[in-house]
Structure 1
Amino acid sequence: MTTAETPSPGGAVAGVVDTADAATAQLDGTWARDVRWWDVAFTVIVVLSALALLTADVRGTALAVSLAAVAVILVGYLGWGRRAARTRDQVTAHVYLVVAVACTLVVVGQDALGTLLLFAVFTQIWMLSEHLWAQVVLCVALAAGTALALAFDPATGRVEPDELASSAPQMGVALAFALSLGLWTAHTMRQAERHARLVDELRATQAELGRASHEAGVLAERERVAQEIHDTLAQGFTSVVMLAQAASADLDRGAADAARERLALVESTARDNLAEARALVAASAPAPLQGGTLSEALRRLAGRFAEETGTRVELTAPEALRLSSADDVVLLRSAQEALANVRRHAAAAAVRVDLRQDAEGTVLEVSDDGRGLPADAPGFTEGYGLRGMRERVAAEGGSLEVGPAPGGGTRVAVRLPAGASPDGPATGARATTRAGDVR
């Protein structure tokens, strides 16, 4: 049953969504199953009506006409109505309903027992028709026609006013009941279909959000891996290339011992790069932080930088820091990127790395005495490395400053908030190390 505004569940059978577990598909499946019970109920009502006519006082022509009309209803349903209930073809449905209403009035005109068919025909009007105006018109026509048929006298060929006055109120009640029940049922089914469609839309939205979240996660992971590669493997390969070039130059000028030292550094750097690659594949902590503290990792980083570049490095850092593992990674990667920029651009003779904690948080400063920032520093464009460093720091709620160092050169300062270090600044000795002492 449905109204003109909204197709019935069965009306959506031809357009069932492809998703097997969609709510509307489930509703359509329920309709297809229920239609079979409508077939059984209709057949039972028609057969019982025919039996009632056979056992009543209807005889002769009246009985023959009545049984013929019942047979037409049954054949019409098997030929048109049953198919319309499944395909929702409205032309077929309304042709059948007109035939059913007309034949019902014929049976009622022969005997009042024909009113038993009203149970089936009223119901089929709401079940098969999908237009509210057609449903109301057919119900009114059936009720009014039944009242006239009950008042019709075959002997005189006239409608008896007294009989009409008696049957009209009865059929008025039947019409009111049919309209009320039909409209309420149609409204209920319309709400069920609306809810099913809303569930489908919700599922589609959830699926779309899931896809969008997955895509965002993939992009974020790609960005993270790209940044990790830039901060570790790319810098390590740069060191290997520079050391190999230096070793080649040493061999050209006959300095075999110096070349051997360079090759040893190449091997050490390559091993560190391999460890970084394995840590990256395993998605674990950076290799320098595995089994050690941030201060130890910075000391090794500063020592290798000094050996590879010949630049004097001064490192100042507490022996023990109260930091989260995420902050350790951010500070280590920031130091690596800052030193890589010194190697590429600064042409510095000395670099200072200072790590400290105070009440406000943790600060890492890397300053050099090199050529400094370009003259147009206010319009200075950050490269991929500095952008990645800024994003890392911002993700931990920190800030990054890049500017001129006191006395010349460049200063890079990373500040992380104290929230990640609830125990406050670490206590203990601070280690000050120069290039020759860093190992």
Structure 2
Amino acid sequence: MTTAETPSTSGTVAGTVAGGADDAAAGAATAQLDGTWERDVRWWDVAFYVIVALSALALLTAFVRGTALAVSLAALGTIVLGYVGWGRRAARSRDQLTAHLYLVVAIACTVVVVAQDTLGTLLLFAVFTQIWMLSEHVWAQVVLSAVLAAGTALALALDPATGRVVPEALASTAPQMGVALAFSISLGLWTAHTMRQAERHARLVDELRATQAELGRASHEAGVLAERERVAQEIHDTLAQGFTSVVMLAQAASADLDRDAPDAARERLALVESTARDNLAEARALVAASAPAPLQGGTLSEALRRLADRFAEETGTRVELAAPEAPRLSSADDVVLLRSAQEALTNVRRHADAAAVRVDLRQDHAGTVLEVTDDGRGLPADASGFTEGYGLRGMRERVAAEGGSLEVGPAPGGGTRVAVRLPAGASPDGPSTGTRATTRAGGAR
């Protein structure tokens, strides 16, 4: 029973250092456990000294006298000196040559003490433990444990008077030490396997944490990139278009002054001021990350009406608006539809050379549809010659983010048709009635 309990004492440390078959996989997990190992070794030092002290005390208080006591105490002193000189250093440096030199000395001295008195078997607690703690090779652990068990069996069967091994005593002690050896090896190997599994688990946890950190960094970078793209799209859809209007109106006002039409120039300058104020409101809304300025305190229909009015005033293009009075949509859908209408009208201004534009917002059981059609020059006859610019790509991304679709193609009777469809969800429960309004610029060309 003395030796059978020994491997369980060594199990915690053995798992870290006895994974001979797993040396290559120790890596980061072993490095992480270095601090824990150093603290554990100190407790093994204390346990070793306590066991040796208790063994010496047992010999002194028992009926061991004379030469036997002197030899036993000398052997105990040799074990202590060997541990102080070799064992402690090997436990911390993992130097296997020094570790095995100490273990050979400890096994030999233990056999000597057991030969003097059976109380020497108390040392088996320390020596069996140190075999599994100091040696990092399974074959060496098994061989040293077998040598210790065999030497102990012979020492217990030794007749002190004659100095010979008594066969009857050996026949009695050998099976006991055999059982203790088998239990010691099996428990030691099982403990080493268990601790290697724990080491693998620790390594996997480290890898998982590293992966989570990498995913966190990637997610952060993706979020930063997405926010940058969102801000860029917002600037393109609002400020850039507003400044384009300001430039065009300023050029028109300059032309009015050149042809001596101060009243027309004054109207243009009033539009410049209005557009600049709208741009300022958009900039403030963008900084505050709130809803677009045209949607603050109003409905989508009202925002589209103001957009159509301003477009008609700035370009002189006839704009026909058909929209429900109060479509009930989510704020995200409102933003997508308003920005799509802005981008579509900007493209009409830049490329269509149209005389009339129609903006149609309607709802049905499938969702909400926004159509912007013009009677301009239309798309190139060769579809391959048409390349979507930044604005259309941004519009398509906005619509796709809400689960919708975007169609760009020729309009019936000529011109271009841009259609945005958003799926039902935040749509009205029933069909909405719409009103039709036609806006003309005062004094339009």
The TM-score normalised by the length of structure 2 is 0.90
2:150 is matched with which residue?
144
Whether the 8 Å CA contact 1:316–1:354 is kept in 2: the answer is: yes
1:433 alignment partner, one of 422, 435, 438: 438
CA-to-partner distance for each residue in 1:397-434, whole Å, 9 max, x for gaps?
2111111111211111111122231513323x513222
2:41 alignment partner, one of 21, 25, 35: 35
Q: Comparing both chains, which one has the higher relative contact order based on Cα–Cα distances under 8 Å and sequence gaps of 6 or more?
A: 2
1:5 alignment partner, one of 21, 40, 48: 21
Whether the 8 Å CA contact 2:312–2:439 is kept in 1: the answer is: no
CA-to-partner distance for each residue in 1:225-284, whole Å, 9 max, x for gaps?
111111111111111111112222222332222222211111111111111111111111
Distance 1:322 1:58 in 2: 101
Instruction: After TM superposition, list the pairs within 5 Å mapping 1:89-168 onto structure 2.
Output: 89-153=95-159, 155-168=161-174
TM-superposed CA distance for 1:155, in Å, is 4.7
2:231 is matched with which residue?
225
2:77 alignment partner, one of 71, 81, 92: 71
Distance 2:150 2:343 in 1: 91
CA-to-partner distance for each residue in 1:151-173, whole Å, 9 max, x for gaps?
33455443332232222122112
1:267 alignment partner, one of 261, 266, 273: 273
1:16 is matched with which residue?
31
1:303 is matched with which residue?
309
TM-superposed CA distance for 1:29, in Å, is 4.7
Distance 1:383 1:78 in 2: 79
Q: Give the AA of the match of 2:215.
A: L
Distance 1:132 1:6 in 2: 11
Distance 2:27 2:413 in 1: 79
Whether the 8 Å CA contact 1:319–1:431 is kept in 2: the answer is: no
Whether the 8 Å CA contact 1:7–1:130 is kept in 2: the answer is: no
**What SS does the aligned partner of 1:365 have?**
strand
Distance 2:69 2:38 in 1: 36
TM-superposed CA distance for 1:436, in Å, is 3.9
Whether the 8 Å CA contact 1:302–1:435 is kept in 2: the answer is: no
Distance 1:116 1:359 in 2: 88
Does residue 1:205 correspond to 2:205, yes or no?
A: no
1:81 alignment partner, one of 87, 99, 120: 87
TM-superposed CA distance for 1:330, in Å, is 0.8
2:4 is matched with which residue?
none
1:58 alignment partner, one of 34, 39, 64: 64
**What SS does the aligned partner of 1:16 have?**
helix
Give the ranges of 4+ consecutive aligned residues of structure 1 lying more than 6 Å apart after TM superposition.
11-14
Distance 1:243 1:338 in 2: 19
TM-superposed CA distance for 1:379, in Å, is 4.7
Residues 14/409 of structure 1: CA separation in 2 closer, same or farther (3 Å cut) = closer
Whether the 8 Å CA contact 2:320–2:436 is kept in 1: the answer is: no
CA-to-partner distance for each residue in 1:77-101, whole Å, 9 max, x for gaps?
2222223333333333222212211
TM-superposed CA distance for 1:223, in Å, is 1.4
Distance 2:189 2:219 in 1: 44
1:420 is matched with which residue?
426
1:410 alignment partner, one of 412, 416, 430: 416
Q: Give the AA of the match of 2:150.
A: A
Whether the 8 Å CA contact 1:52–1:113 is kept in 2: the answer is: yes
1:235 is matched with which residue?
241
- Structure 1 stretch displaced more, 418-427 or 233-242: 418-427
- Structure 1 stretch displaced more, 197-206 or 401-410: 197-206
Determine what percentage of the aligned residue pairs are the same residue.
85
Distance 1:422 1:260 in 2: 43
1:329 is matched with which residue?
335
**What SS does the aligned partner of 2:188 have?**
helix
Which residues of structure 1 form unaligned runs of 5+? Answer: 18-24
Which residues of structure 2 form unaligned runs of 5+? Answer: 1-13
- Aligned-residue Cα RMSD (Å) equals 2.3
- Report how many aligned residue pairs link the two structures: 426
Q: Give the AA of the match of 1:16.
A: A
CA-to-partner distance for each residue in 1:101-137, whole Å, 9 max, x for gaps?
1211222223322211111101111122222111111
Whether the 8 Å CA contact 2:316–2:441 is kept in 1: the answer is: no
Distance 2:121 2:142 in 1: 19
Q: Give the AA of the match of 1:292.
A: G
Residues 331/131 of structure 1: CA separation in 2 closer, same or farther (3 Å cut) = same
Whether the 8 Å CA contact 2:78–2:109 is kept in 1: the answer is: yes
**What SS does the aligned partner of 1:406 have?**
coil
Whether the 8 Å CA contact 2:379–2:410 is kept in 1: the answer is: yes
1:47 is matched with which residue?
53
